[in-house]
A and B are shown apart, each in its own frame.
Chain A
Amino acid sequence: MQIKTVFAGFGGQGVLMMGYSLAHAAMNEGLHVTYLPSYGAEVRGGTANCTVAVSDEEIASPVASQPDFIVAMNGPSLMAFQTRIAPGGAFFLNSSIVEGRPNRADVTVFEIPAAGIASELGSPRVQNVVMMGAYVKATRLVSADTYLKSLKSILGGRKKAAMDVNRKAFSAGYDSID
């Protein structure tokens, strides 16, 4: 088993945090994992993405030429990556923001109104964790329990309230898909 996921969106949507938290959880489940952030001549308000490879054996390349999963937090991310997704792969679309839909018939599409759900929870910033709730449920790469424990250790000493809202966000995302 080797699964590669690209998380992409606007800078500020917590895209790198999504990948980092998944990588953390995969490590805690004893899996091999690599996390590769995009870097370069970035601009404020521009796009950001990262690639996470999770495997039960040594990972050759941390790059995904054909990602199995693509988490698109904004429209441009869907446009940028839809041609690259592996046949049989899955899109996770932040459907509150992403207006387009993939032009591929050979992939599964999960539409999660992550930004909307986060706003209803009173904290638009947790849209990334809402999305992770849906992602963890659909992919089963890591257990919800491991993910939340990892998230807690990443948030570390921050206010308990921060973990509470993240936990709610995760559950809401988790329950948003069947």
Chain B
Amino acid sequence: MDKILISGNWACGEAAIRAGCRFYAGYPITPQNELTEYMAEHMRQAENGTFIQAESEIAAVNMVLGASAAGARAMTSSSSPGISLKQEGISALAADELPAVIVNMMRGGPGLGNILPSQGDYYQATRGGGHGDYRTIVLAPASVQELADLTMEAFDLADAYRNPVMILGDGMTGQMMEPVVFGKPRPRRYSEKYVLKGCGAGKSRFVRGLILDALRMEEHNWKLVRKYNVIAQKEVRFETFRTDNAKLVIIAYGIAARIAKGAINRLRDSGYRVGLIRPITLWPFPAQILRDTAERIGNFLVFEMSTGQMLDDVKLALDGRARVSFYGRPGGVVPTPAELAKAIVQEYQR
């Protein structure tokens, strides 16, 4: 398979179709418009593919819920303000235990904010986002290649756990182009037990999120928790970079982690022993590798393009085992590796 030069938004759309996504509903918003555009053009060329530009973000996510209940691999995408609107549907997907992939190319917030790359939706993505006791699996790509790979994987994870999976990118991952080699599609493996496709003479099936009986609702909550515990056990993904003999470790995800790598390479050249742990799954959060690392290294610096959200998860994971400092650039600012390196040096010398 040849390398092609492609933008993150297009690569995400192409990867989804290759993964067997046959239902896409979306509503335009910058900086993820090219993903909707790609689906508009290419979904109709895919066998049995459906593209719908919905009347709103809320309609789009609920169409995805319907398509998923009917057995389709289904996806919707948006950017921060639009993802807020989708939360009702994501909560319903989690309650109904339906697989779906939701893409968020984050922009500056809160409110309408701006259309520049940002990481301010970490809380929303990793804490469920909508109402109720639930979790979404959250995948954070740092390159267009990884965005393509994780998009394909997201559909498998959604099926395996019958749970919504969120791809958490940002304006830059969506807009920039890089060479990509697309992975081979894998056959879809899932239990069709839940799919509403007409029961014929058999037993009726229900997909239900409204459970009025308290004890039954409680049991449904614990059932979800048991599933989340399995996910937390089995699906943690992360990358470590130059952490051997490090005196300070940066924790960063997505595009911020790339900038961190640039800063680390500069600093290593001038003798600073710094490394990186890059969470790839933001939920489940890679807490164990942080705790293991803290046995050797006592100084951590969290870098986010926000005012400090993943910072909470790092502190929870380390639970006082190491010193944790923070460097953040919210609002659509993408700092340079040089700027970050300066911030690292300040903490390094403490």
Contact = CB atoms under 8 A, between A and B. Distances in A.
B116 to A, nearest CB: 8
Interface string A53-81: 00000111111010000000000000000
A145 to B, nearest CB: 18
B78 interface: no
A39 B116 CA distance: 9
Contacts of A23: 5, 177
A62 B256 CA distance: 11
A63 B115 CA distance: 16
Interface centre among B115, B171, B336 (most CB of A within 10 A): B336
B303 to A, nearest CB: 13
Given A24-B5, A39-B115, A58 B261 contact: yes
Contacts of B158: none
Contact of A65 (B177, B258, B338): B338
A178 to B, nearest CB: 31
Contacts of B84: none
B51 to A, nearest CB: 23
Given A39-B30, A61-B334, A34 B259 contact: no
B144 to A, nearest CB: 8
A60 B176 contact: no
Interface in A27-45: 27, 33-37, 39-41
Contact of A60 (B31, B177, B263): B263
A35 B263 contact: no
Interface centre among A20, A39, A60, A65 (most CB of B within 10 A): A60
Contacts of A36: 172, 175-177
Contact of B175 (A37, A58, A59): A37
A23 B176 CA distance: 11
A60 B115 contact: no
Contacts of A20: 5, 177
Contacts of A40: 30, 115-116
Interface string A2-34: 000000000000000000100110010000011
Contacts of B49: none
A23 B158 CA distance: 35
B197 interface: no
B258 A61 contact: yes
A132 B16 CA distance: 35
B179 A33 contact: yes
Nearest to B334: A63
Nearest to B263: A60
Given A60-B263, A61-B258, A61-B262, A34 B176 contact: yes
Nearest to B116: A40
B304 to A, nearest CB: 15
Contacts of B5: 20, 23-24, 27, 33, 35
Contacts of B176: 34-36, 62
A63 B173 CA distance: 12
Interface string B168-199: 00011001111100000000000000000000
Contacts of A59: 258
A121 to B, nearest CB: 27
Interface in B111-143: 115-116
Interface of A: 20, 23-24, 27, 33-37, 39-41, 58-63, 65
Q: Which 3 A-B pairs have the closest CB atoms?
A: A60-B262, A35-B177, A65-B336
12 contacts: A24-B5, A27-B3, A33-B179, A34-B178, A35-B176, A36-B177, A39-B115, A40-B30, A60-B262, A60-B265, A61-B262, A61-B337
Interface of B: 3, 5, 30-31, 115-116, 171-172, 175-179, 258-263, 265, 334, 336-338
Given A27-B3, A34-B177, 20 more contacts: A20-B177, A23-B177, A27-B5, A33-B179, A36-B176, A36-B177, A37-B175, A39-B31, A40-B116, A41-B115, A58-B261, A60-B259, A60-B263, A60-B337, A61-B258, A61-B259, A61-B262, A61-B334, A61-B336, A62-B176
